[in-house]
Structure 1
Amino acid sequence: MSKRESPEQARPSAPAAWKVPMVVVAAATALCCALKLWADVTTFADGEFWLSLGLLVAVPVAVWLVLIAVGCVRYANWWRLGLLVPLFLVATVALAGFAVPGRIGWQLARSEMDQAAAECGTLQGGLSDSSYKSATIGVYDFHHIESGPGGECEFYLSKHYPGVRSGFLYLPAGAAPVSDIDHEYVRLGDSWYYFKA
């Protein structure tokens, strides 16, 4: 090694045997993150999916850690591929934290949601036989829809498990709901709110 060569330059470039698994791990992580972002598009903010995402991404991240350790010790320029996994994870947390996918989903469904709110009484499920009428509106699947006395309409999201606790609330003339310890409301504009309990 000459005096001008740094230790990084003296190490060989990463071989395909290291690069291919790193690309596969990055792709698996990107897929897991995309699933989380899509879940937020179709439910506005799917907080329950964080646990599933953590379980899904645990294997690729564990493999990534091993590959990074090998890359740091043995190969030059390992960091180029090595930064993809943290980049995907940080971007996902930032986008979900600022509700960007949820806002995109809302914009995609907004005109259909306005129309559904105008027809809320006819969309409400039949309660006489203890069943609910599900509906798909825009990018959202709803477990059931309930109308209120002043033109209010509640759309309960279907998440394929019991105990639906989130959805959209349309309050055409009512006072804005206030978030408390049990309920959170996010104003979406005009008379619309996203709620979760």
Structure 2
Amino acid sequence: MNSVATARARSGPPRWFVLWMGFLTCVVAVVCAALCWELASFGDHFTKVLLWVGLSVVSVVALFFGLIGLIRYHTIQLSLAVPLSITALAALVWFEVPQEAGWQVSRGILEDQSIDCANPGPRTRLGVYAIIAITPRDGGCLFYVQGTSKVSEGFAYFPPENAPPSLGPPAERGVEYRPYDGRWYRFVDSS
């Protein structure tokens, strides 16, 4: 019996296992990339939840087959591809790399648009962000990236001669500004 296990280990894992683990690894990589995009572009909440659930399901299946591969076929590389991908995604999310990359790609485009502060129409893409509205307010230019019927949020640019009227939550319904990057602020509009 020992010689059968040794012969199986030398011949490598079966082809179906290699193809299946390769497929699962590709699916996890695509979902991880989609999650990074959604995080970078402030995508909608429903899509993020759907991607996280999909990643969880595929990861559990991949981890199950990965354990089988480790125990039965001694396939370390195939079995560790998915856990390493998830670890890399966790590190990127923890250090906010997708959000920072999205901001760095989009900052110059938003600054150019803030000069005129004119609304180019519904759902315009500026950089990686889907902008739903642009409006001058409080001496600055507000770029709305997300919104519901009660609360909207986005980025606000205030030129050097202006500053937001106040930082932090407003006394009543209104706009809450938080410093973000130089003359840029994040805001939540509950008016």
TM-score (norm 1): 0.73
Deviation at 1:169, TM superposition (A): 1.4
Per the alignment, residue 153 of structure 1 pairs with 141
Q: What is the aligned counterpart of 2:66 among 47, 65, 68?
A: 68
How many positions carry a matched residue from both structures? 178
Per the alignment, residue 173 of structure 2 pairs with none
Long gaps (5+) in structure 2 = 171-175
Cα contact 1:124–1:147 (8 A) shared by 2 = no
- Give the share of equivalent positions with the same residue, in percent: 28
Cα contact 2:39–2:98 (8 A) shared by 1 = yes
Q: Secondary structure at the match of 1:14?
A: coil
Letter in 1 for 2:89: T
Asked whether 1:99 is paired with 2:89, we answer no
Letter in 2 for 1:154: L
Pair 1:114–1:174, CA change in 2 (3 A): same
| 1:51-81 Cα shifts (integer Å, max 9, x gaps) | 22222113321321321232232112x2211
Cα contact 1:178–1:185 (8 A) shared by 2 = yes
Structure holding more helix per residue: 2
Deviation at 1:195, TM superposition (A): 4.1
Per the alignment, residue 152 of structure 2 pairs with 165
Pair 1:74–1:144, CA change in 2 (3 A): same
Higher relative contact order (CA 8 A, sep 6+): 1
Pair 1:162–1:66, CA change in 2 (3 A): farther
TM-score (norm 2): 0.75
Per the alignment, residue 29 of structure 2 pairs with 30
Per the alignment, residue 127 of structure 2 pairs with 138
Letter in 1 for 2:156: L
Long gaps (5+) in structure 1 = 3-7, 126-132
